Structure 1
Amino acid sequence: MKKNFIYVVFLGLLAVFTLSLNSCGNQKADSDDTEVTDDSNNDSDDARAEDEDYYVSKDGKFKVKFPGTPEVSSQMVPTDAGEIEMFTYIYEKSATEAYMVAYGDYPSSLIDGSDPKELLEASRDGALETSKIDGNEDLKVNGFPAIRTRAIDVEQNFYYIYEVILAKNRLYQVMIVRDGDYPSDSVVADFIDDFVITMKKK
């Protein structure tokens, strides 16, 4: 496998995910309707917590146990609701294993009045549209609705543990990608199970 190939694959998933979510909305909205959930969109305050192994994103309002320091980037993704800024955090442990978190804030009018489960399912289906679904689990992450999926990209031989979470108007994606087999239960527990959303649920 080429170096950074998993990274490229993940960015491709993000693009499809965004378009699928947008198709779920029951109306268009101006980008100015986006709910403000952060003081800024700058991740300069991101840091690994001193007392634990958590990587803490203050602007992203999450913390997670990356195995190493992730590469942080952002890109503007066009949708019918306007451009959405997608933030990505990727740590490639090796050429065959990667850990990823992404989030984007969507216009409230796209989220309000929609069924959270339908939005999550559409997001999952878009991101994993070329993969074989092995199983799904409905769950809550810090009180927010989420779906966790096991899937296989048969052509690439990639195995995904993929979780998508709707927290107010913010959609998080948390994923482990591995070549050849699923990550162990302990690896999933350390990364995905320990993913924490730090924003308050009103």
Structure 2
Amino acid sequence: MTTNTYLLFTAWLVFFTSLSQAQNSKVDFKDEKGKFKISFPIEPEVSEQSGVTEYGEITTYSFKAESEDDDNLSYDVYYLDYPQAFTDTLSTESVYALFYGSQMTNVNSDNIQLIGTFNHNILGYIGREYRWQDIKTNKFSRVRFFMVNNRMYILIVNTEGEKNFNLSINKFFDSFKLIDTTPNPNTQTSSEGVDKIYKIKFPKETEIREMETPTEYGNAKVVVECYQPKLVNDDNLIYMVMIIKYPEDITLTDNFDLDDYYSNVIQRALNGRQTTLISKNKVSENGISGIEMKESFRDGQIVIKQKVFLKGNSQIALQVMTIPNNDDNKSMNSFFDSFEFIEE
């Protein structure tokens, strides 16, 4: 597992523990022609632009909001319709390639780096989010796409680096809903999913995100499954499982040492999250050796308990975050105790 992977994982931690406040005001915007609704911080500016492309003449409709009294620099929604005969021929991978390619005119600098890719869906239609960082200005962009029949929707939030995981970003994305749209009868599943090799009981319904990340063993597929409770109803801040699927069984690589691997996992976690190690122990589940560690996060404000197992080409990390006074609470222990590997 690389530091890159832990930085992505840290991004989740920072998001779920962000102390930033979401905007108090919002404008519930609805576009009948575009068949969507979404909440902007202020009334958006609406415009349209037509141009001739390799697919024929296409009109792009845009909705943009910039508010000085907000956590983020701008919020945008675009949609455009491709010829149905063209989109009918697209596979899932072709749609992803179209998403990626449509950004390239704006990502034309060596300073702009892709830091994360996450798969989504809406009413069974595929989507994907890209997260970009301008390393020179330290500005971030989150760009989320959906392909609904022949229509492409694009949602964008631009923000400053220090506000990269404020709650307003996800509130904007989560407020996007399709209207007068029939769910996809031929739901396509991502080819990048990771086969589930474990069972665990979350307190309630989880959120799932997928991404890819480079590692010393090649590009790995990552799935994060998490549940964030309301603080008044639970002793913990977040429950999470992250599975990293390497392209090969890394335990069979030359000179592989499991103890060294787990030592590196611990060190990279501490470095990537800027935490302090409280304790570490060896553990075992269904005959699979692993490690358990506790970390102090945010100058002692938060305790992170984590178990990590390596099974073949998959690393599985279980994690619960809580405040120090609630450490080792019943809900935390029940979550960890419910974990087991699925027999092959």
Q: TM-score range by the shorter chain?
A: 0.5 to 0.7
1:9 corresponds to which residue?
none
* Alpha-carbon spacing, 1:183–1:150, altered in 2? closer, same or farther (3 Å): same
* Alpha-carbon spacing, 1:56–1:109, altered in 2? closer, same or farther (3 Å): same
2:174 corresponds to which residue?
193
| Matching of residues 156-171 of structure 1 within 5 Å | 156-171=137-152
- Residues 1:150 and 2:131 are matched in the alignment: yes
Aligned equivalents of 2:102, 2:32: Cα separation in 1: 28
1:184 corresponds to which residue?
165
- Residues 1:137 and 2:112 are matched in the alignment: no
* Alpha-carbon spacing, 1:71–1:181, altered in 2? closer, same or farther (3 Å): same
What SS is found at the alignment partner of 2:170? helix
Q: What fraction of aligned residue pairs are identical, expressed as a percent? A: 23
Aligned partner of 1:101 among 77, 80, 84: 77
* Alpha-carbon spacing, 1:189–1:180, altered in 2? closer, same or farther (3 Å): closer
Residues 85-120 of structure 1, C-alpha deviations (whole Å, 9 max, x = no match): 000000012396000000001101111121133223
| Matching of residues 4-43 of structure 1 within 5 Å | none
Residues 60-91 of structure 1, C-alpha deviations (whole Å, 9 max, x = no match): 10111100000000000221121100000000
Q: TM-score, normalised by structure 2?
A: 0.41
1:59 corresponds to which residue?
33
What SS is found at the alignment partner of 2:40? coil
- Residues 1:82 and 2:82 are matched in the alignment: no
Q: TM-score, normalised by structure 1?
A: 0.67
Q: Please, what is the CA RMSD of the aligned residues?
A: 2.2
The structure, 1 or 2, with the larger RCO (C-alpha pairs under 8 Å, 6+ apart) is: 1
Aligned partner of 1:175 among 152, 156, 164: 156
Aligned equivalents of 2:33, 2:148: Cα separation in 1: 14
Aligned equivalents of 1:152, 1:182: Cα separation in 2: 12
Aligned equivalents of 2:31, 2:94: Cα separation in 1: 28
* Alpha-carbon spacing, 1:53–1:72, altered in 2? closer, same or farther (3 Å): closer
Aligned partner of 1:117 among 93, 101, 117: 93
Q: Identify the range of structure 1 (98-107 vs 53-62) with the bigger mean alpha-carbon deviation.
A: 53-62
Q: What's the CA shift for 1:182?
A: 4.7
Aligned equivalents of 1:182, 1:79: Cα separation in 2: 36
Amino acid at match of 1:56: K
Asked whether the equivalents of residues 152 and 160 of structure 1 are also in contact (C-alpha less than 8 Å), the reply is yes
Asked whether the equivalents of residues 101 and 172 of structure 1 are also in contact (C-alpha less than 8 Å), the reply is yes
- Residues 1:68 and 2:42 are matched in the alignment: yes
* Alpha-carbon spacing, 1:118–1:174, altered in 2? closer, same or farther (3 Å): same
Aligned equivalents of 2:136, 2:102: Cα separation in 1: 17
Asked whether the equivalents of residues 62 and 77 of structure 2 are also in contact (C-alpha less than 8 Å), the reply is yes
Residues 151-182 of structure 1, C-alpha deviations (whole Å, 9 max, x = no match): 11234533011101000000000010113345
List runs of 5+ in structure 2 lacking aligned partners: 1-25, 185-344
Aligned equivalents of 2:80, 2:162: Cα separation in 1: 29
What SS is found at the alignment partner of 2:43? coil
List runs of 5+ in structure 1 lacking aligned partners: 1-51
Asked whether the equivalents of residues 27 and 42 of structure 2 are also in contact (C-alpha less than 8 Å), the reply is no
Aligned equivalents of 2:31, 2:130: Cα separation in 1: 24
Asked whether the equivalents of residues 117 and 129 of structure 2 are also in contact (C-alpha less than 8 Å), the reply is yes
> Which one has the bigger strand percentage?
2
What SS is found at the alignment partner of 1:118? helix
Aligned equivalents of 2:102, 2:134: Cα separation in 1: 13
